[in-house]
Amino acid sequence: MGGDVLSQAEVESLLSAMDSRESDVIADAATSRIRHRDKVSPYDFKRPERVGKEQMRSLQTMHEGFGRNFGAALSALLRTIVELKLTSVDQLTYSEFVFSLENPTCFNLINAAPLEGQLILDINLSLLFPIIDRLLGGGNDAGTVVRRPLTEIELRLVSRITDLFCKEVKHAWENVLELDLTIDHVESNPQLVQIVPPNEVVVLISFELSIGDARGMMNFCIPFNSIERIATRLSSNSWVSYGKKTATPENIKRISGQLSDALVEVVVDLADTTISTSDLIGLRVGDIIATEKDTERPLVVSVEGRPKFHAKAGAFKGRKAIQVVGMV
């Protein structure tokens, strides 16, 4: 039995080994918790992300092209250099968007059929007053910033800018959806407008616009319920416009070979006439409908609904046939 008793040194060695192993286990558990925490991202129920990342990228690229075209069109209208660049494409709640705007501002409500609801274009007044001054013959001086709603005459001048905006947005969206954009009305206090519930998700597309010494923001707000039904179209393959390539003999031969076996519908119009409804109801088997078409005049041959050839009727090997005599 005496040989089974541990010495003091052996006991201390075992205790130190157990302490080191326990500290290693605690360290491994802590490391595991840290790694697990790194993989977890907080979710804010006030700002749900309902628009997918692919759709957000599509909207961003679409409106980058829009920004270039609208900036060039605005430069031509004002006859001065206008710099317009896309600053952000975010999704947030409608209340967050409205309370982030200045008051007063130029808050345009846009009807965009066939999309449901309305879209919003907000233009900072620090931009509009220099634009109005420029339209009335002024220079590039930003002048004094005025904080007041726009007058009726000023709104009429600003409509030239908003109409140009709608035209360029329609052009940017034409590969996704044919939009009919019209300005419904303009408000100065954005907090008085409630087109969607406060917690509804919207996509906010922000632009920074510079005209001479004047600089300000232009915001384009798209409620999610307006684009929910067409969200699948907002993919990278549905809106990208590919560059037009020059036709080469190889491409022409390859495409012609693929089309040579395609079936097309060929229709020959023998004649046409007009009769009354009473005569139509009274038609019986054996009745003859007279036409004014001369039997010597050529017939019209349509290919896939489009008139293509002139022909005359006849027979070939005992079957009804036509002979092409010319092009339409």
Residue 161: band (very low, low, confident or very high) from pLDDT cuts 50, 70, 90:
very high
In the prediction, which pLDDT does 165 show? 93
**Short-list 58, 66, 71, 76, CA closest to 220:** 66
pLDDT above 50 for 141? yes
pLDDT above 80 for 13? no
The model's pLDDT over 77-118, given as tens digits with 9 standing for 90+, comes to 888 888 889 999 999 999 999 999 988 999 999 999 898 889
Q: How much is the average pLDDT of 293-316?
A: 86
Angle between helices 152-173 and 125-135 in degrees, nearest 10: 100
Q: Helix or strand or coil: residue 26?
A: helix
In the prediction, which pLDDT does 29 show? 60
pLDDT above 80 for 9? no
In the prediction, which pLDDT does 96 show? 92
In the prediction, which pLDDT does 110 show? 93
d(CA 275, CA 324): 30
Query: In what side-by-side order are the strands of the sheet with 180-187?
Result: 82-93, 201-211, 214-223, 118-123, 106-113, 180-187
Computed over every residue of the chain, the mean pLDDT equals 82
Statement: the pTM of the whole predicted model exceeds 0.75: no
d(CA 1, CA 228): 83
In the prediction, which pLDDT does 261 show? 78
Asked whether the CA dihedral 215, 123, 169, 238 is positive or negative, the reply is positive
Reading the block at residue 135, the tokens are: 């339209």
Task: Show the beta-strand stretches assigned E in 192-259.
Answer: 201-211, 214-223
- Between 260 and 59, residue with greater pLDDT: 59
The alpha-helical segments, DSSP class H, found in the chain are 8-39, 53-78, 94-99, 125-135, 152-173, 224-227, 236-239, 249-259, 277-281
In the prediction, which pLDDT does 175 show? 84
**Short-list 293, 304, 299, CA closest to 328:** 299
Residue 41: band (very low, low, confident or very high) from pLDDT cuts 50, 70, 90:
low
Q: What are residue 107's phi and psi, to 5 degrees?
A: -105, 100
In the prediction, which pLDDT does 32 show? 59
Q: Which domains are present in the chain? A: 53-239 (3.40.1550.10), 264-274+293-328 (no CATH)
Residue 241: band (very low, low, confident or very high) from pLDDT cuts 50, 70, 90:
very low
d(CA 57, CA 304): 39
Cβ-Cβ contacts under 8 Å for 270 (sequence gap 6 or more): 299, 313
In the prediction, which pLDDT does 242 show? 41
d(CA 153, CA 311): 64
pLDDT above 70 for 159? yes
d(CA 88, CA 67): 12
Q: Helix or strand or coil: residue 141?
A: coil
Q: Which residues pair with 92 in a beta bridge?
A: 202
Q: Which single residue is written with the structure tokens 């632009």? A: 207
Q: What are residue 6's phi and psi, to 5 degrees?
A: -80, 145
In the prediction, which pLDDT does 145 show? 66
Range with lowest mean pLDDT among 172-176, 234-238, 281-285: 234-238
pLDDT above 80 for 176? yes
Q: Helix or strand or coil: residue 266?
A: strand
CB atoms within 10 A of CB 273: 9
Q: Helix or strand or coil: residue 101?
A: coil
Q: Give the DSSP H or E segment for 160.
A: helix 152-173
Percent of the chain with pLDDT over 90: 20
In the prediction, which pLDDT does 164 show? 93
In the prediction, which pLDDT does 276 show? 87
Residue 294: band (very low, low, confident or very high) from pLDDT cuts 50, 70, 90:
confident
Residue 53: band (very low, low, confident or very high) from pLDDT cuts 50, 70, 90:
confident
- Between 206 and 27, residue with greater pLDDT: 206
The model's pLDDT over 21-32, given as tens digits with 9 standing for 90+, comes to 655 655 666 565
Angle between helices 152-173 and 53-78 in degrees, nearest 10: 130
**Short-list 80, 69, 204, CA closest to 131:** 80
Burial (CB < 10 A; 0-12, 13-18, 19+), residue 233, is: middle
The alpha-helical segments, DSSP class H, found in 40-151 are 53-78, 94-99, 125-135
**Short-list 138, 137, 106, CA closest to 121:** 106
The model's pLDDT over 83-92, given as tens digits with 9 standing for 90+, comes to 889 999 999 9
In the prediction, which pLDDT does 1 show? 46
